[in-house]
């Protein structure tokens, strides 16, 4: 256990360092990295040497400010390799290819055939889409993260349950491994969004945060001291299925009165239906309906939908604040993109009313600043973490160092 702890600390320090490099966006020196991570200058120096050695970092030239000797600037090396992020949602598969500077190189989104949603069919679709998008660059791929909806057991790579399809206990990573020659990481959207925020969003500065994902499904990721709280079956954060109104609406999960039944995209469409069953804002896709509500914000019915949704959001967020007492809550993903600001405006006074005084004073509520789909970015981040924690990546360095005569 102590051995594992030492390894984990080494990985965690390596992650911290690289997070600081990404945050600095190319203007980083060893001195600044030591200050920002709180690590000693010596251990920052060692880690940088190691990361330069394996090509993860690159020197961008020197910053000669006239005082002392010039300081080398460091950045993640975009040419070191590619990371694939796959966001499997209810009706689409979205794939991004990132370089190691986490710049999106290529993207594609393909529809899911509603008649072909058994696990092998979805695995075929993902594999074909990834293979197409990667093209001739397969050798450069360092890993691929694949996100599927619902609870996931990441170590074994098992989808425990899918809210959309009749999956139960599907060894989905195994199905993908038969089809794709990459190191694969399977996880769920809430965990992915949170890891994306920790590496590239609000979590770069704040280590105690809750990331609220608002899309078709809703839920949260809880980070304590920079570490994602997974829970014993990796299902911590199922805030969307906490009871908001006992004996309320039937939720997609089969239970009644869940948070998601009111503030997920279908829940918002449901509220519109209650208020105006014949509204021209409807479309067959709930997220398109949400977009239409956002665009019609000057209409009374849209305002009423936003008001009710914001009130429900407010109570559910106050509950979260009372239980978890985070520094920051970040709201992200598609529904937040369309309606985040409007919903927060309604929710804030409700939160102030229902949250306890001190934790309410201590918390900051903000919309995600990530410009990219947080789920595919998080998927690629899992692959990045795996690459950075992989002894194959660094083992060769130690071997080289141990045998300098080789």
Interface residues toward a second copy, by CB under 8 A: 1-3, 5, 9, 13, 37-40, 43, 151, 160-161, 208, 220, 224, 229-239, 241-246, 253, 255, 315, 318-320, 322-327, 353-354, 356-359, 361-363
Q: Does residue 241 belong to the site contacting Zn ion (CB under 5 A)?
A: yes
| Region binding Zn ion by CB under 5 A among candidate stretches 70-78, 143-151, 236-244, 309-317 | 236-244
User: What 3-state DSSP class applies to 380?
Assistant: helix
Find residue 74's DSSP bridge partners.
Answer: 28, 59
Q: Which does 251 bind (CB under 5 to 8 A by kind): a second copy, Zn ion, none?
A: Zn ion
- The residue range among 82-90, 209-217, 241-249, 281-289 that interacts with Zn ion, by the rule CB under 5 A, is 241-249
- Angle, vertex CA 143, rays to CA 395 and CA 381, nearest 5: 100
Pick one of 142, 223, 258, 346: the residue that binds Zn ion (CB under 5 A).
258
Burial class (CB in 10 A: 0-12, 13-18, 19+), 202: buried
Give me the least distance between CB of 152 and a second copy, in Å please.
10
Cα gap 329→364, rounded to integer Å:
6
The pair phi, psi for residue 221, each rounded to 5°, is -120, 135
- State the binding partner of 78 from Zn ion, a second copy, none, CB within 5 to 8 A by kind: none
331 binds, among a second copy, Zn ion, none (CB under 5 to 8 A by kind): none
Tally of residues, the chain: 406
Which lies closer to Zn ion via its Cβ, residue 100 or residue 251? 251
Kind of pairing, strands 71-76 and 158-161? unpaired
Task: Give the separation between CA 150 and CA 167, rounded to whole angstroms.
Answer: 10
Q: Which window, 108-116, 233-241, 293-301, 316-324, contacts Zn ion (CB under 5 A)?
A: 233-241
Q: Is residue 270 close enough to count as binding Zn ion by CB under 5 A?
A: no
399 binds, among Zn ion, a second copy, none (CB under 5 to 8 A by kind): none
| Distance between CA atoms of residues 243 and 238, nearest Å | 11
Closest approach of Cβ 274 to a second copy, in Å?
Answer: 17
If binding is defined by CB under 5 A, does position 255 make contact with Zn ion? yes
What is the biggest distance separating any 2 CA atoms in the chain, rounded to whole angstroms?
79
Work out whether 253 is an interface residue with Zn ion (CB under 5 A): yes
* Residue with smaller CB distance to Zn ion, 213 or 328: 213
Residue 251 as a binder of Zn ion (CB under 5 A): the answer is yes
CB of 16 to Zn ion, least distance (A): 36
Beta carbon of residue 241, minimum distance to a second copy (angstroms, whole number):
5
CB of 246 to a second copy, least distance (A): 6
Query: Could you tell me where the beta strands, DSSP code E, fall in 131-264?
Result: 141-147, 152-153, 158-161, 168-170, 184-187, 209-214, 218-224, 227-228
Residue 187: name the closest of 114, 259, 86, 99 by CA. Answer: 86
> CA 90: distance to chain centroid?
17
Residue 124: partners with Cβ closer than 8 Å, 6 or more residues away:
179
User: Is the CB of 125 or the CB of 228 nearer to a second copy?
Assistant: 228
User: Taking the complex as a whole, how short is the minimal distance between the CB of residue 39 and a second copy, in angstroms?
Assistant: 5
3-class state of residue 246 by DSSP: coil
- Cβ at position 121, least distance to a second copy in Å: 24
Binding to Zn ion by residue 312, rule CB under 5 A?
A: no
The Cα–Cα gap between 303 and 326 comes to 30
Q: Which residues bind Zn ion (CB under 5 A)?
A: 241, 251, 253, 255, 258
């Amino acid at each position: 256990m102590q051995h594992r702890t030492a390894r984990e600390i080494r990985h965690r320090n390596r992650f911290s360092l690289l997070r600081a490099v990404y945050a600095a966006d190319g203007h980083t020196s060893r001195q600044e990295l030591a200050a920002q991570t709180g690590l000693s200058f010596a251990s920052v120096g060692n880690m940088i040497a190691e990361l330069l050695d394996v090509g993860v970092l690159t020197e961008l030239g020197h910053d000669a400010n006239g005082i002392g000797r010039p300081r080398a600037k460091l950045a993640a090396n975009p040419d070191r390799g590619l990371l694939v992020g796959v966001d499997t949602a209810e009706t689409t598969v979205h794939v991004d290819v990132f370089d190691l500077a986490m710049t999106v190189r290529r993207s594609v989104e393909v529809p899911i055939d509603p008649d072909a949603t058994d696990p092998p069919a979805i695995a075929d679709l993902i594999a074909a889409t990834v293979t197409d998008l990667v093209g001739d660059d397969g050798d450069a791929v360092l890993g691929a993260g694949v996100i599927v909806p619902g609870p996931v057991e990441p170590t074994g790579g098992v989808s425990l349950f899918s809210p959309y399809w009749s999956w139960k206990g599907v060894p989905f990573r195994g199905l993908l491994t038969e089809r794709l020659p990459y190191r694969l990481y399977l996880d769920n959207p809430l965990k992915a969004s949170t890891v994306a925020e920790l590496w590239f969003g609000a979590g770069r500065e704040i280590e105690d945060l809750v990331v609220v994902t608002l899309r078709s499904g809703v839920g949260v990721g809880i980070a304590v001291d920079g570490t994602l709280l997974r829970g014993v079956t990796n299902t911590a954060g199922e805030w969307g299925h906490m009871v908001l109104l006992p004996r309320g609406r039937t939720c997609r999960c089969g239970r009644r009165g869940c948070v998601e039944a009111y503030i997920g995209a279908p829940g918002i469409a449901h509220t519109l239906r209650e208020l105006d069953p014949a509204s021209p804002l409807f479309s067959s896709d709930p997220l398109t309906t949400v977009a239409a509500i956002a665009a019609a914000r000057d209409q009374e019915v849209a305002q009423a939908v936003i008001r009710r949704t914001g009130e429900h959001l407010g109570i559910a967020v106050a509950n979260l604040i009372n239980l978890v007492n985070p520094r920051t809550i970040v709201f992200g993903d598609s529904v937040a993109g369309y309606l985040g600001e409007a919903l927060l405006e309604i929710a804030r006074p409700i939160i102030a009313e229902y949250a306890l005084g001190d934790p309410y004073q201590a918390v900051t509520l903000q919309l995600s600043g990530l410009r990219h789909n947080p789920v595919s970015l998080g998927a690629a981040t899992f692959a990045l973490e795996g690459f950075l924690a992989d002894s194959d990546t660094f083992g060769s360095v130690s071997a080289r160092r141990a045998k300098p005569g080789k």
